[in-house]
Structure 1
């Protein structure tokens, strides 16, 4: 069964424009595309936002999550309209796990030193963190835009626990960024293998949808087909 609906979900320190280069490529292939705008205020609010987007799609869906959104789609993807899941450099918790609990098991990453909390518990990235560790394969102009438009995430959202992992019952695809300094490739490999996902690797930072949009679009189309 070929699917023609795609819901794209951004991660922390991002927004729906993360997919700006990927959306036209999918649309050119006849895909109906929605890019969710996560509130990033709580895990539950983020899952609900994805659920609303799925409900508006006409037909079955490929659900795509980047980074933190891997946890979000793992829960929201239990919607019966979701038939396939795509993880892009993403956390992939099982039931009873969260992005934070997985991260605690991983090797320390350099990006940790560039995370700054505010007085209300929302986390942002420094410009250095974005330029050298988050999106190091983008040009300086794009890096500055990412820094300016980043979506600060409430730290508690990272602790949102899955009740049921959608990847347990759906075909799953995982794109590994081999130059990722936010979630190291060795940890991505471990999560993807546990899910028995179809794996593709690319020499990319944590944001391949911006640095290699054609590869990301082709991988999503592979999942849809």
Structure 2
């Protein structure tokens, strides 16, 4: 959909080993881009684009059911004092301290609107995340200077929708609320694509 709209699209492969490593992967993609860049981040990816989006080539940020935290915060610190999200009880940790969400947890909390076949593919292609990711604090925040857009997933079972909305308002983002789960780009792809295209048009 984005390519059909004339946008050049690059999907950054975050190693999910540390915030620094993920930001480095994003910065390489920014450097390689032939023109202006809009960064789109889903879930943890919101932290990555916030930390890694300060380059002059980056003209806008799009958060899709994502963390949009201020400098000095981490996902863990930002949610301190709140009851643990139910999905965290399903996490499986390996000997290297990497986390995965089992297929049952993905279907129940992340992709309630997806088909069983889609959930099975998500489980099969899921990349484990280093447990320390969620404790790593932002050292800079591109959202302080870049215009932002935010898709709030109103049935999100991973990040509370009210928290998404509060983060979006804090960074003065253009907010779009969609009925759907955490993986809203899978179940409402056209609506999410339209937000990204709108961001692109605004900075051309």
Q: TM-score range by the shorter chain?
A: over 0.9
Show the counterpart of 1:194: 170
Structure-1 residue corresponding to 2:179: 203
Q: State the SS of the aligned residue for 2:9.
A: strand
Aligned length: 201
Q: How does 1:142-221 map to 2 (within 5 A)?
A: 142-221=118-197
Contact 1:98–1:160, Cα closer than 8 Å, also in 2 = yes
Structure 2 residue matching 1:34: 3-state secondary structure: coil
Root-mean-square deviation over aligned CA pairs: 1.0
Q: Is the 8 A contact 1:106 1:187 kept in 2?
A: no
* Superposition misfits of 4+ residues, deviation over 4 angstroms: none
What residue number does 1:102 align with?
Answer: 78
Equivalent residue, structure 2, for 1:7: none
**How big is the shift at 1:194?**
0.6
Measured after TM superposition, the shift of residue 113 of structure 1 is 1.4
Distance in structure 1 (CA, Å) of the matches to 2:111 and 2:12 = 21
Deviation, 1:114, is 1.2
1:64-95 deviations in Å (ceiling 9; x for gaps): 00000111100100111101000000011111
Query: Where does structure 1 lack aligned partners over 5 or more consecutive residues?
Result: 1-24
1: CA distance, partners of 2:81 / 2:171: 17
Match in the other structure for 2:103: 127
Cα shift readout 1:27-57 (whole Å, capped 9, x = no counterpart): 0010000000010111110000000011111
